Amino acid sequence: MSNKKKILIIQNIHQAGIKLLEDNPNFEFELIENIDLKFLKEKISNFDGISIRTAKLPAEIINHCKKLKIISRHGVGYDNIDLKSAKNNNITITITTTANAVAVSEHVMFMLLNIAKGKSMYDTTVKSGNFNERNKLPKTIEIWKKNILIMGFGRIGQCLIKRCLGFDMNVFVYDPYVTKEVIESFGGKKVNDLYESIKSMDAISLHIPLNDKTKNLINYELLKTLKKSCIIINAARGGIINENDLNKALSENLIYGAGLDVFEMEPPSKDSPLLKNDKLFLSPHTAAFTEECMTRMAVETIQNIIDFFDKKLDKSKIVKL
């Protein structure tokens, strides 16, 4: 009987991560793309560890996995995993804490600049032969010296602040769990009253988890208090912003624009008003989809599994249950 640990890779990852298992004699693995709940319930029960991307792992599946010891998340969010059942079954959950900060923070700047500068307006004008119409185009805005609020100051927020300061923005940070001293060491200013400070912001970038406290945190009542020149970016989790309220606020010109990489329902329904709103810049949950980041995430995801069984796992990679 083999003593090798059996690992199930749910949804494909970069080959660099898979190679770690191929080269390690202590493991055997299987890769699957089928994420149907009924299929997963039967499949996972024979594995010691799994890596997972966006597939759902509800209680009915986790409670069926008597051998499972570790769920290694390919990313930093874990709202697709039932945490209570994982805790009850003494299953460790890990995340890729170091892999995606650069890619996501660059994507936020990409969205912010595209919205501020009119997305593809200039490019379309030239390519459509309307170069001489440039004086008739709507004026865009600068982000220089503008106030930006970073909500959540983990690794992504800390990566983003460097890029914002590079554009000479005034950076404010809201994170009750990070001290004033730490925030100031990065060049930011800590704010304690979210609802008061948010009124003076020209841009807001969300980097907080989705939970009972943050669901619909950005709603119509809050949006009404913002500057009309404000831009909101959400590359964290869908549901933090109430999408109907955001669409209404944009349609009523209460704010300048918004960028969404994440949605309450993914993909959004084909009749979602978000898809027709010209003040929205959308991407399909791909903020971390750079070649470099996907390589780092795959390697870290699998390395977390290997380190867990080798009893070398860095505690910073473990989700507190």
CA 239 to CA 261: how far, in whole Å? 12
Helices (H) and strands (E) in the chain, counts: 12, 12
CB < 8 Å & 24+ apart, contacts of 189-196: 191/149, 194/151, 195/222, 195/225
CA 164 to CA 73: how far, in whole Å? 29
Q: Name which of 160, 188, 159, 163 is nearest 174 in CA terms.
A: 188
Q: Which of 22, 30, 133, 266 is catalytic?
A: 266
Cβ pair 49, 72 in contact under 8 A = yes
Residue the block writes with tokens 């304690």: 192
Q: Name which of 274, 286, 298 is nearest 20 in CA terms.
A: 298
Q: Name which of 40, 16, 18 is nearest 30 in CA terms.
A: 18
Catalytic residue check, 237: yes
- Taking phi over 0 as left and psi of -120 to 50 as alpha, with beta for the rest, 145 belongs to left
CA 82 to CA 78: how far, in whole Å? 9
Residue the block writes with tokens 């298992």: 21
Q: Which of 53, 64, 163, 285 is catalytic?
A: 285
Q: Which of 237, 264, 296, 300 is catalytic?
A: 237
Catalytic residues: 237, 266, 285
